[in-house]
C-alpha cells in the first residue's frame, strides 16, 4: 500500500485562501475566529476549504460554526465534497486501511478528551510501543492522526465524528476497565497518580459520559468514586 503525506497549509497560506474565498476585509475583521477555525481543523486542505465555504454561505454565523466544530455535531452526511458526502469520502479512506490500522484508529477515537497518550493505546491493544508508533506514523501520513503537545496525539474532529459511528459499546467498557485498573495501580496521592489524572482527566470524564449513554451504570458508579477520590485528594 502506498502512503502519501498530506501537508497542511502554512498559517500564511491558510489566511491567503481565506482572503480569496471570504474577502480580505472579512478575514481581517474576524481574524481571531478565523485563526481558531484554522487551529481546530489542523490547517488541513480539505477541511479548510469546507470550513471557508461553510462560512461563505453564512458569514454572520461564523461563531456558531466554531461552536458546531467544538461540539463535534456536524452531520457528515449533509456536508458535500466533490459531489459526495464527507461521510462517504472519509468512509472510503478508512476502508482503504488494513485491519491493524483501522483498529488503532478506532482505539484512538475512544478518547473523548482533546488528546491522548500512545501508552494508553498500547495498553488497550496490548501491543508494543514500537509497533503502535509505526501505525501512528502511517496514520499521520494519511492526515488521519495529528501530534499534540507533550508527546501526545489527537484526532481531527471530522475524522473523530466519523469514527464514533464505528465504535462498539463493548470497547468503551474495555477502556473503562483499563482506566480503573490504571487508577488502582497508582499509590493514592502519589505524583504518578496526580499526573495521570491531570493528563487523562478530560478522557476519563468523556468515558463517564459514554458509560451513562450506554447505561453501564455499575461502571459509572465505580469510575465516579475514583474521580471523587481524586478531587478530594488534590
CB within 8 Å of 106: residues ≥ 6 apart: 163, 166, 167, 171
pTM here?
A: 0.64
Phi-psi region of 150 (alpha: psi -120 to 50; beta: other; left: phi over 0): left
pLDDT band for position 176 (cuts 50, 70, 90)? very high
Matching residue, cell 452531520: 75
DSSP H or E stretch at residue 20: helix 11-22
Cell of 141: 501520513
Average pLDDT over residues 88-105: 87
Cell of 221: 458508579
3-class secondary structure, 81: strand
Mean pLDDT, the chain, integer:
84
Residue 1 has pLDDT above 60, yes or no: no
Percent of the chain surpassing pLDDT 70: 88
Residue 193 phi, psi dihedral angles, 5° rounding: -60, -50
Percent of the chain surpassing pLDDT 90: 38
Average pLDDT over residues 94-123: 92
**In this predicted model, what pLDDT tens digit does every residue of 25-70 receive, in sequence order?**
999 999 999 998 888 877 877 678 778 877 887 788 888 777 766 6
DSSP H or E stretch at residue 153: strand 153-155
Cell of 143: 492526515
Average pLDDT over residues 87-91: 77
Q: Please indicate whether residue 158 or residue 32 has the higher confidence score (pLDDT).
A: 32
**In this predicted model, what pLDDT tens digit does every residue of 109-130 receive, in sequence order?**
999 888 899 999 999 999 999 9
pLDDT band for position 2 (cuts 50, 70, 90)? very low
Of the spans 10-14, 48-52, 77-81, which averages the highest pLDDT? 10-14
Amino acid at each position: 500500500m502506498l502512503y502519501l503525506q498530506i501537508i497542511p497549509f502554512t498559517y500564511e497560506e491558510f489566511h491567503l485562501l481565506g482572503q480569496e474565498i471570504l474577502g480580505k476585509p472579512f478575514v481581517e475583521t474576524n481574524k481571531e475566529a478565523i485563526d481558531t477555525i484554522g487551529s481546530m481543523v489542523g490547517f488541513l486542505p480539505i477541511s479548510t476549504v469546507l470550513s471557508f465555504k461553510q462560512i461563505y454561505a453564512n458569514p454572520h454565523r461564523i461563531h456558531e460554526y466554531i461552536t458546531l466544530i467544538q461540539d463535534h455535531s456536524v452531520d457528515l452526511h449533509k456536508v458535500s465534497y466533490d459531489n459526495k458526502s464527507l461521510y462517504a469520502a472519509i468512509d472510503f479512506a478508512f476502508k482503504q486501511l488494513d485491519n491493524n490500522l483501522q483498529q488503532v484508529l478506532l482505539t484512538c477515537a475512544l478518547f473523548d478528551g482533546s488528546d491522548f497518550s500512545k501508552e494508553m493505546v498500547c495498553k488497550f491493544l496490548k501491543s508494543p510501543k514500537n509497533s503502535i508508533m509505526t501505525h501512528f506514523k502511517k496514520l499521520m501520513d494519511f492526515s488521519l492522526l495529528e501530534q499534540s503537545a507533550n508527546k501526545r496525539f489527537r484526532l481531527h474532529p471530522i475524522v473523530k465524528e466519523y469514527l464514533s459511528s464505528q465504535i462498539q459499546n463493548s470497547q468503551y467498557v474495555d477502556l473503562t476497565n483499563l482506566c480503573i485498573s490504571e487508577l488502582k495501580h497508582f499509590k493514592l496521592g502519589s505524583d504518578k497518580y496526580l499526573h495521570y489524572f491531570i493528563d487523562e482527566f478530560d478522557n476519563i470524564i468523556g468515558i463517564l459520559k459514554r458509560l451513562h449513554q450506554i447505561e453501564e451504570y455499575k461502571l459509572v458508579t465505580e469510575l465516579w468514586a475514583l474521580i471523587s477520590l481524586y478531587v478530594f485528594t488534590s
